[in-house]
Amino acid sequence: MQHEPGRRAARPVGAITRGTTNPNRLRRVDRWIAGPLAARWRTAADPLVVDLGYGATPVTAVELLARLRAVRPDVEVRGLEIDPQRVADAQPLAGPGLAFALGGFEIPLERGRRAIVVRAFNVLRQYDEAQVASSWDTVRERLADGGVLVDGTCDEVGRRASWIAVGKEDGPLSLTLSLRLRGLGRPSQVAERLPKALIHRNVPGERVHDYLKALDAAWDRAAALAGFGVRQRFLATAGQLRTDGWPVLDGPTRWRLGEVGVAWSAVAPLSSSR
């Protein structure tokens, strides 16, 4: 990371996270960044992706680079942490296309460079809900044109995950839920892993609560398909949501992975301008 001569580096913006990291934990969101979101960064002039708050070990940044290089071989990943020791510990894994540096929501990069994607997973869940909007805005100001912040949460082994796509120019765009289908009881079990912007809004009267109820209701209506496998049941569930008028995104290719996205307008908190 380069700084102007004689200028002292600013203190990273944010708080140190617990740092829980497990290999393959973020496979679901990585698959989405390499899939539906790839249209945003595949043709970028500078394909730079930031793994913000990668945690106690840099394994998620290493995995992210490998997954995105399947789409674009010249993609670069920059892991940022505000804990200097975590940055120092990660350096042995740095190499072509992969670097680690001290930084937080201010996204410090070499002069003139801006990230096209910033993935911040299991970071904001440790903040107060009131801090979410300002944190989003801090990152958005530092994205490249057309860039996206992916703010999400998952469980310790990555079986249940959810994330919000936040565009540089247009703010929050969508909520995506991604579930391990085998052994799934009800789709709303993901509620405890909603991003911070929504997790406290899963109460009657809020849109995200209505959405999860509709998701469960569609799941119940598809019970007759359980004999054909849980994937067929989930495909029917997502299709039913769309039929019922929810602005469901993507299609069967994503749904069969246990993933379903919806436009932000359908789940946005009622008491927020976002």
Q: pLDDT tens digit string along 43-67?
A: 999 999 999 999 989 999 999 999 9
Q: Is the pTM of this model over 0.75?
A: yes
Residues 157-172, mean pLDDT to the nearest whole number: 97
Which segments of the chain does DSSP mark as H helices, in order?
27-33, 38-41, 59-69, 84-90, 132-140, 196-199, 207-221, 230-243, 252-255
As a whole number of angstroms, the distance between CA 39 and CA 47 comes to 12
Which range is least confidently modeled, 1-15, 73-87, 202-216, 225-239? Answer: 1-15
**Strand 76-81 to strand 98-102: parallel, antiparallel, or no bridges (unpaired)?**
parallel
Give residue-wise pLDDT tens across range 77-111.
999 999 999 999 999 999 999 999 999 999 999 88
The amino acid at residue 37 is L
Domain-embedded: residue 185: no
Instruction: Work out the mean pLDDT of the chain and round it to a whole number.
Output: 92
The answer to whether residue 2 scores a pLDDT higher than 70 is no
Question: From CA 264, how far away is CA 174, in angstroms rounded?
Answer: 4
Strands 143-154, 160-167: pairing kind: antiparallel
Please count the structural domains in the chain.
2
Do residues 11 and 135 both lie within one domain?
Answer: yes
User: Can you give the residue range of the structural domain that contains 216?
Assistant: 191-268
Q: Residue 186 domain-assigned? A: no
Output the six-digit token pair for 210: 């209505």
Residues 215 and 157 in one domain: no
Query: Exposure of 143 by Cβ count < 10 A (0-12 exposed, 13-18 middle, 19+ buried)?
Result: buried
Residue where a domain stops, chosen among 169, 199, 230: 169
Name the DSSP letter for residue 194: -
Residue owning tokens 């801006």: 114
CA atoms within 13 A on the CB side of 130: 0
The verdict on 203 and 118 lying in the same domain is no
CATH assignment at residue 90: 3.40.50.150
